[in-house]
Structure 1
C-alpha cells in the first residue's frame, strides 16, 4: 500500500508539473534595460605597452522567446547600441581615451522551472547560447590620426534569472548573463592584440506571454 501510495503521489506530482509547465508554442516578449559590466582586467595591447580598462553602460533591451517544448524556449536578446569609454594607459602611466559602440545580439536555449511549486510562484530559468558582438564607431584620441578597429566577436553566453508573476500572462524579470567577448584589435591597420571584455550583464524587464 505504501508503494502504491508513493507511485500515485509521484504520478500526481508529475501530472501537476506538466499541467502548469509553460506549454510548447508559447511566445514571450520582454522589454527592459541591461547593464553591461566588463571584467576588471581587460588585458594589454601592443605587446604589453598599453593596459586596457573598459567601463560599463546601460541601455534598453528587448527579448523574444519561443517555447519549442514544455518549459524549453529559444530566446533572442537585442538592444540599442551600448557605448563604452576605454582608457589605454602606457608603461609610463600616461592615459589615452577611446570610445566604442557595440551591439550584442545573443541567442539562447533555456529551461524554465515552471510548475515546480516555488515560493511566491517564482519561476527560475537557466540558459546557454551564443553571443555575437559587433563593434563600430571606434575612436581613439591620440592628438593625431589614429584608426582604431575592433573586430566582431563570437562566444559562449550563459544566462540565469527568475520571473516573478504579477498577472496570468505578465511577469517581472531579473536576470544575469555572462558573455565571452574577446575581440581582436588593430591600430592603423596593424594587429596589436586582443582585449578581454567578457562582461556580466545584469537586467530587469517586463515580460508578457502569448
Structure 2
C-alpha cells in the first residue's frame, strides 16, 4: 500500500505502543500529536468518535484501538515479518495472546488500578474472571518460550510486552522472573528504543511534531 500513513497520538498515552509498532514496521509515517483537551474537537471525532488516541489513518482506512492497529499494520506490511503468515498454525497463538492482552489483561489491570475487584461469586460474569487467573495465564503462556507465537518476535509480543513493561513499572502487574525477563528483552529492541526516544522528546517539548 502506498497511501500516506498518519498516526494520531499523545506521548503520554497508549499511543506509545503504536509508535513502537510503527518503528518496527519501518514505513514512513506522519505524526499528529493531540493535546487531551483537543481530542473531543469535531475534527478528531471524525477520526475516532471516542475522542481517544491512538488512531491511524492509512489512506482512506482508519483504525483505532492499539491492538487492532498493531494487527492491521502487521498485515498491511507483511515484509516486516510481524505476524505469522495466513495458514501458519502460529497464527492461532498470535491472535490468542494479542487479544488476551487487549481484553482480559487490559480489563483486569485497569480495574485493579481503580481499586475494583470482581466479587468471587460474580467472576463468571467478567470476561477475565479475576486478576490472579489472568496473571497465571500469562505466566503459562511464557513458560519455556522466548516468543508467544512461533519462534520469532511478532506484534503479539509487542503488545503483550508493552502492557507487561508498563504494569511492572507501575505495580499493576506482579513482578515475576518470567515477566521481567520477557519485558526486558523486548523493550531493548532497537525499534522500541527509537520509539521511546521519540515520545520522550515529545514529552519534553510537546509542541514538537515528529515524522
Structure 1 and Structure 2 fold alike (TM over 0.5): no
User: Would you tell me which structure has more strand in proportion to its own residues?
Assistant: 1
- Rg (Cα) greater in structure: 1
- TM interval, short-chain normalised: under 0.3
Q: Compute the TM-score of the two structures, normalised by the length of structure 2.
A: 0.22
Q: Compute the TM-score of the two structures, normalised by the length of structure 1.
A: 0.22
